[in-house]
Each structure stands twice: as structure tokens, then as C-alpha cells.
């Protein structure tokens, strides 16, 4: 809609698009010695002449429009312009802007004389008149293009065959004579109705045809339709753009409105075509990728992914150039500026270009492909995408590492997926207590066993004694196993482990296990003797303290108090003599027991000190057996 508003509001002769930049016309053979002055009416090229004439008609300036016609002195300019406009409204069809030559010399490769250029046709009934421009040289030597006198002489015959148009027949009287943006409101309403109705009808038609094809295609080819339903809308827009111009000519919409709308429909058709081609490219490359996986051509997946992105980028660039050309921008200056800017950008974006070249190298050399498990630098993981600028790798931690292709192509990459077999490499540890003859016979039998095992191949199978250690024999197993992936290899390796251990169990050998050995040192420094004596004295003091503590028990306190009471009562009564004598006897017995306890503690202390003087220093070392 923005493009349509620009094409409607801005005058046509304000834009100048160079078709030579797209290869649509001839370039000047030589520059003249003196640069000619530009024509004041913009008639230097055939395209500018057509655009200037339509712009003058849109402004209803018939005198200005007459300057684009090759009239004689006897012709009435206003009458000729009005008749010419009537004929164009009835059935005039100009070529698209990009097909009209934009060089001052015109198109020299057509079948017309060098001084003539065909820019369209008028079809009214059975009468056909070609719209021919001819190159005119003025008295002052200026050269410019005008509609030829032969074309203008045929206009009266065309007008005789014209009939009232649909717009003129079904026009509301309230809309007649009213204008919006310089255009008749009647024409604007008619054009809007035709655009909407054409889009709705084409969409319904394309939708029905697509679903009919979706039903019939599997019956004919035996497979589902590869095109998604997302192509319906762009196909409807392209179809609408192709038929809208003819519908407006048939309805009799004014040529001054028809040409801007045609420019808009051309832009819409290019956008829809680009959109449709992008969908088709996705469908084609998706099918190619699926076939590559189906036929096990996984190396093609990376190439197809890069090709898809390059084709899409080129298609978008071409579409942008064509769209801006339809809008009337000068592409020659733009492309030249783009070249200079591209050079400056290339110098400033060396890293980006390096990554782009690196992506080509990664795809062409194919050190890895999408789905391969590889190791590069300090990372390893599965390659999930090889893009234009960078590649992405999913690590075993399920994170994604993004690596610029410039760095990725220069790294040492270890591709685990490319290996054709898996290595079985393990060691077995046996105690040195085993008989050497038994060990040697076991190694010989295991070597023959692993060579003939159904899981191993003939690449390199061997069992041998690889090392003699102080505490064990090291038996090394070497073999290769065929497997399609690491999961399958681990399953086969488990089977080989079990079979190997069952074979080892047939022999009188023991597996060596990790052990620790404690060694006591024979020498002891002299300063430890002093520490032992001090420990003895301390133990004796502790023992004495313990004896004192024994006397401080509650039972002892009770006995002492009891003895004191008995002694005090001895003078009062003779009846308590027996009690006093008994308490004294108990006290003597307790003293004897305390003395015995002290002697026993001293004996224990002497034994402990003797042991400390004769004990050895404890030290240890640990041997870990693999």
C-alpha cells in the first residue's frame, strides 16, 4: 500500500530508473565530445517520454501533454490530446516501465528503425494501433522522443469504433466530476472494487485448485503433495496482478489511473512471486534433504542447507532491485554507489567475509556434517547447523556452542562419526601370587579367544602381558568392534566383557585389588624418651588425684561423720562401746583397702612407663595397587 501511495502521489517524471543496469537495454557506444543539454520536458529517453505524457494527462494539462506529440502546425493540440486520451482509455496498453528502453538512442535491437520505438498498443474492437515513438531533431540540433505522427493519424479511426465503457455506464451521478489526488473519484472507486473482487475470486479459485491437486496428486504419484498450503496466497496475488490490468482496460478505467495501478500491481506481483519462490525453494530443498537422509547421503545435508540460504539471498536481492526499478529510482547511480559502499563494507567487515569464506570451506571440504559428533578445541558435541556466518554445536551438557566458520574451518576437528569401527582397549590386573605358567597359558588362550570372537573383526586383535609390577601382572586387551554408533558399541562391549571374564574364571588366578600396607620403623629419636618420663610423672599425679577422689566419695563422707559421732558418744554411754569398736575396725579396713589401691596404681604406672621406654616409633606408608 505504501508503494501504491508513492506511485499515485508522486509525479511519474520525477523518477528515472535505469534498465541498462538490469541488462534490459543497450549502453551508449561512445560519449559525445560535448554533453548535450537535457530536454526541458524530459523527452530524452523513450521511458521518460511516456512517463511525462501520462503525468501531463493526469494533471489535465493538455497543452503540456501536446509537447510529447509530433504535431503539425495545422493540428489542434487540445483536440488531438483529448482524442488520444479517449483512445487510450478505451483500450490503450503501455508496456511496463522496465520494458521501455531508457537510453537516448532507444532499443537498437528491435525490428524497427533506429529512430523509432514501440512502447505499447491500442486495441479497440478489431482495430489495433501500435504506440510508436520517433526521435525528432529540432532546428537547433536537439534530439528528443515524441509519439509519431503515424500513430496520431490512426486515432480518429479508433475513436469511431469505441463504445461506452462499463465505468461510464454504471457511474453514480453523485461521483461525477469529483477528484481525489488529481484522479476522478469514479475511476478510483471502480479500481478499488476491481482490485478487491479480483483478489477474492483468484484466492477462491487457487484454493480450490490446490486442494483438488492435493487430492489427485497422491493417487497419481503415490506420495503426498510436496507444496505446502502457504503457497495459496502468493499464487492468488500473482494471478490477480496478471489479470487486473486487463480487467481495468475492459472496464474503461482512465489511463492516468491505470498506469500507476499497473506499477503497483507489478510491485505486488514481484513481491508475491518472490514469496512464492521462497516457499517453493523451501519445499524443494526440504525434499532434497529428506532424500539425502533416506539414501544415507548425509554429507549433502550441509551443502543443501548452505545452497538454500544463498539462493534465497540472491532471490531477495534481485527482487529488491526490480521493485525499486518499478518505483522509478535510478538504479545506475544506486548500483555504482552500492559497489563503492560494498568495497568499503568489505574492508570494514573482513571478519564477516572471513566467516562467509569459512562456511564455503566447511561445506566444500566437509570435515564435519550436520549430525556428526566431533571434537574441536576445548569443546565437543553434535553439529546441528552449518550457517553462512557460524556453525552451532550441541554439547553433551545440552548447551549450544556457536563457532564462527572462519575459526571453525581453521581448527583441528576430530570427527567421531566418521570412524568405521570402535576400539576395545582395556587392561586386567592379576596378583603376582599366580603361577607364571598358568598366567602365560591364560594369555595365550585369551589371545586366541578374542581373535575368534564373533563381535571382533580382523583389524587388530591381541592379548599380551604389557607390564610386570611389584604386586601384579598387567594383561592388555586390544581389539576392534564393528558398530554403527556408540550406543551399539557399548552393548557389544558389555557382551565381550562378560565373555572375557568367564574365560579368566577358568584359571587359578586372582584379580589384584587396591591394598594398603603398614610398616613400623625400628629407630626412635631420643627426645621422645624425655616425653615418656614426663608422661609417667603426669600419670602418677593423676593416679594420686584419683585416690584422693576416691576418698571424697559420698560413702566415705558418711563413714567419717559416723565415726565422729561414735567417738563423741563414747564418754556418755558404755552401751555404745561395741558400736565404736566396730566403726574403728571399719576405718582400719578402709585404710588397708586404700593402701592396696595405691600400690596397685603404682604398679600400673610402672608397667606403663616401662612400655613407653621400650615402645617403637610408629610410621606407615601406603602402596596403592592399580
pLDDT at 1: 46
Phi-psi region of 456 (alpha: psi -120 to 50; beta: other; left: phi over 0): beta
How far apart CA 413 and CA 380 sit, in angstroms, is 9
Whether 25 has a pLDDT exceeding 60, the answer reads no
pLDDT (0 to 100) of residue 208: 92
pLDDT digit string, tens, across residues 536-586: 444 444 444 444 444 344 444 444 344 433 434 444 444 444 444 455 555
- What is the Cα–Cα distance from 165 to 57, expressed in whole angstroms? 19
Q: Which CATH class name applies to 422-506?
A: alpha beta
Name which residue leads in pLDDT, 164 or 74: 74
Give pLDDT, residue 523: 56
SS3 349: coil
Q: What letters, b where the CB count within 10 A reaches 16 and e where it falls short, cover 240-265?
A: bbeebbebbbebbbbbbbbbbbbbbb
C-alpha angle 206-209-212 in degrees, rounded to nearest 5:
150
Predicted confidence at residue 537, as pLDDT, reads 45
Q: Where in the chain is the domain with CATH 3.30.70?
A: 422-506
Per-residue confidence at 348, pLDDT binned at 50, 70, 90? low
Any idea which of 197-206, 376-385, 512-521 has the lowest mean pLDDT?
A: 512-521
Percent of the chain with pLDDT over 90: 13
User: Of 58-67, 177-186, 300-309, which range is least confident?
Assistant: 177-186
Outline which parts of the chain fall under CATH 2.30.30.60.
363-415
Half-sphere exposure of 200 (CA within 13 A, CB side): 6
Cα–Cα distance measured from residue 543 to residue 546, given in angstroms and rounded to the nearest whole number: 5
Q: Please report the pLDDT score of residue 310 as a whole number.
A: 80
Rounded Cα distance, 28 and 22, in Å: 15
Rounded distance between C-alpha atoms, residue 571 and residue 562, angstroms: 16
Per-residue model confidence (pLDDT) at position 553: 42
* Spatial strand order in the sheet of 373-376: 400-404, 390-394, 379-386, 373-376, 413-415
Integer Cα distance of 593 and 470 in angstroms: 61
Q: What's the DSSP call for residue 456?
A: B
Instruction: Taking residues 90-117, report their average pLDDT.
Output: 83
Give the residue carrying C-alpha cell 593402701. 595
Q: How far is CA 30 from the centre of its chain?
A: 50
Measured distance CA(321)–CA(270) in Å, rounded: 10
Pick the CATH number of 363-415 from 2.60.120.10, 1.10.3430.10, 2.30.30.60, 2.60.260.20: 2.30.30.60
Looking up cell 493538455 gives 62
Beta-strand ranges (E) seen in 432-547 are 462-468, 472-481
Mean pLDDT (the chain, rounded): 74
Q: Note whether 327 and 9 are within 8 A (CB).
A: no
Collect all residues with Cβ–Cβ distance below 8 Å to 87 and sequence separation of at least 6: 122, 124, 129, 155, 158, 159, 162
Nearest C-alpha neighbor of 321 from the set 310, 330, 312, 308: 330
Contacts 24+ apart (CB under 8 A), 239-244: 239/202, 239/205, 239/206, 240/195, 240/198, 240/199, 240/202, 240/265, 240/268, 241/265, 241/266, 241/268, 241/269, 241/272, 242/269, 243/198, 243/202, 244/194, 244/195, 244/198
- Residue 518: predicted pLDDT: 66
Cβ proximity of 21 and 94 under 8 Å: no
Please report, for residues 34, 62, 343, 615, the alpha-carbon distance to residue 38 in angstroms, rounded to integers and kept in the order given.
12, 22, 32, 121
Spatial separation of the C-alpha atoms in residues 319 and 268, rounded to whole Å: 11
- Could you give the angle at the alpha carbon of 138 between the alpha carbons of 134 and 142, nearest 5°? 90
> Helical H runs in 179-231?
185-221
24 Cβ neighbours under 8 A, 6+ residues apart = 98, 99, 101
Per the CB < 8 A criterion, the answer to whether 77 and 71 are in contact is yes
Residue 405: CB atoms within 10 A of its CB come to 23
Q: Which of 237, 241, 231 is nearest to 210 (CA)?
A: 231
Taking alpha carbons only, the member of 231, 166, 233, 164 closest to residue 193 is: 166
Q: What local confidence, expressed as pLDDT, does residue 478 receive?
A: 93
The backbone torsions φ and ψ at residue 385, rounded to the nearest 5 degrees and listed phi first, read -165, 140
Q: Is the pLDDT of residue 341 over 90?
A: no
182: left (phi over 0), alpha (psi -120 to 50) or beta: left
Nearest C-alpha neighbor of 183 from the set 314, 59, 83, 12: 59
> Which are the contacts of 54, defined by CB distance < 8 A and separation ≥ 6?
12, 94, 255, 256, 259
For the beta carbon of residue 35, count every other beta carbon within 10 angstroms: 7
Q: Is 57 exposed, middle or buried (0-12, 13-18, 19+ CB in 10 A)?
A: buried
Amino acid at each position: 500500500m505504501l508503494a501504491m501511495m508513492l506511485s499515485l502521489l508522486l509525479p511519474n517524471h520525477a523518477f528515472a530508473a535505469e534498465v541498462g543496469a538490469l541488462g534490459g537495454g543497450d549502453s551508449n557506444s561512445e560519449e559525445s565530445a560535448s554533453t548535450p543539454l537535457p530536454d526541458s520536458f524530459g523527452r530524452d529517453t523513450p521511458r521518460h517520454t511516456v512517463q511525462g505524457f501520462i503525468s501531463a494527462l493526469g494533471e489535465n494539462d493538455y497543452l503540456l501533454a501536446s509537447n510529447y506529440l509530433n504535431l503539425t502546425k495545422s493540428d489542434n493540440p487540445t483536440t488531438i490530446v483529448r482524442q488520444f486520451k479517449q483512445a487510450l482509455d478505451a483500450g490503450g496498453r503501455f508496456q511496463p516501465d522496465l520494458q521501455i528502453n531508457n537510453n537516448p538512442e532507444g532499443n537498437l535491437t528491435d525490428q524497427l528503425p533506429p529512430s523509432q520505438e514501440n512502447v505499447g498498443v491500442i486495441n479497440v474492437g478489431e482495430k489495433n494501433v501500435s504506440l510508436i515513438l520517433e526521435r525528432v531533431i529540432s532546428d537547433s540540433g536537439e534530439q528528443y522522443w515524441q509519439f509519431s505522427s503515424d500513430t496520431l493519424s490512426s486515432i480518429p479511426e479508433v475513436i469511431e469504433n469505441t463504445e461506452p465503457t462499463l465505468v461510464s455506464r454504471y457511474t453514480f451521478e453523485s461521483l461525477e466530476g469529483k477528484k481525489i489526488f488529481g484522479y476522478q473519484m469514479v475511476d478510483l472507486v471502480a479500481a478499488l472494487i476491481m482490485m478487491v473482487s479480483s483478489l477474492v475470486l483468484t484466492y477462491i479459485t487457487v484454493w480450490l485448485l490446490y486442494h483438488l491437486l492435493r487430492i489427485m496428486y497422491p493417487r497419481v504419484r503415490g506420495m503426498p503433495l510436496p507444496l505446502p498450503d502457504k503457497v495459496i496466497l502468493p499464487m492468488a496475488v500473482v494471478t490477480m496482478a496478471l489479470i487486473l490490468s486487463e480487467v481495468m482496460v475492459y472496464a474503461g478505467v482512465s489511463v492516468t489511473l491505470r498506469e500507476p495501478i499497473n506499477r503497483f500491481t507489478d510491485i505486488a506481483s514481484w513481491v508475491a512471486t518472490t514469496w512464492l519462490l521462497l516457499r517453493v525453494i523451501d519445499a524443494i530443498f526440504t525434499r532434497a534433504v529428506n532424500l539425502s537422509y533416506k539414501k544415507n547421503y548425509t554429507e549433502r545435508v550441509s551443502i543443501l542447507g548452505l545452497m538454500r540460504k544463498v539462493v534465497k539471498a540472491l532471490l531477495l536481492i534481485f527482487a529488491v532491485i526490480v521493485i525499486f526499478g518499478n518505483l522509478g529510482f535510478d538504479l545506475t547511480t544506486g548500483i555504482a554507489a552500492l559497489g563503492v559502499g560494498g568495497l568499503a563494507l568489505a574492508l570494514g567487515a573482513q571478519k564477516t567475509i572471513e566467516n562467509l569464506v569459512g562456511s564455503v570451506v566447511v561445506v566444500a571440504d566437509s570435515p564435519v556434517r550436520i549430525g556428526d559428533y566431533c571434537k574441536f578445541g576445548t569443546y565437543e558435541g553434535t553439529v546441528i547447523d552449518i550457517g553462512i556466518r557460524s556453525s552451532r554445536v550441541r554439547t553433551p551438557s545440552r548447551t549450544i556452542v556457536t563457532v564462527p566458520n572462519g575459526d571453525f574451518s581453521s581448527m583441528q576437528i576430530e570427527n567421531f562419526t566418521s570412524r568405521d569401527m570402535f576400539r576395545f582397549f582395556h587392561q586386567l590386573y592379576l596378583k603376582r601370587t599366580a603361577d607364571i605358567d598358568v598366567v602365560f597359558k591364560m594369555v595365550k588362550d585369551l589371545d586366541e579367544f578374542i581373535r575368534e570372537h564373533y563381535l571382533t573383526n580382523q583389524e587388530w586383535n591381541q592379548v599380551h602381558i604389557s607390564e610386570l609390577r611389584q604386586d601384579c601382572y598387567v594383561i592388555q586387551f586390544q581389539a576392534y568392534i564393528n558398530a554403527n554408533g556408540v550406543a551399539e558399541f557399548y552393548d557389544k562391549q558389555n557382551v565381550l566383557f562378560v565373555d572375557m571374564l568367564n574365560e579368566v574364571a577358568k584359571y587359578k588366578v586372582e584379580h589384584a585389588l587396591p591394598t594398603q600396607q603398614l610398616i613400623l620403623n625400628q629407630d626412635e629419636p631420643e627426645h621422645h624418651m624425655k616425653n615418656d618420663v614426663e608422661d609417667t610423672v603426669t600419670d602418677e599425679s593423676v593416679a594420686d588425684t584419683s585416690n584422693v577422689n576416691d576418698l571424697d566419695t559420698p560413702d566415705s563422707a558418711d563413714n567419717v561423720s559416723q565415726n565422729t559421732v561414735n567417738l563423741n558418744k563414747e564418754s556418755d554411754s558404755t552401751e555404745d562401746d561395741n558400736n565404736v569398736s566396730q566403726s574403728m575396725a571399719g576405718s582400719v579396713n578402709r585404710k588397708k583397702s586404700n593402701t592396696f589401691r595405691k600400690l596397685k596404681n603404682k604398679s600400673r604406672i610402672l608397667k606403663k612407663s616401662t612400655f613407653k621406654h621400650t615402645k617403637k616409633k610408629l610410621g606407615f606408608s601406603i602402596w596403592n595397587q592399580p
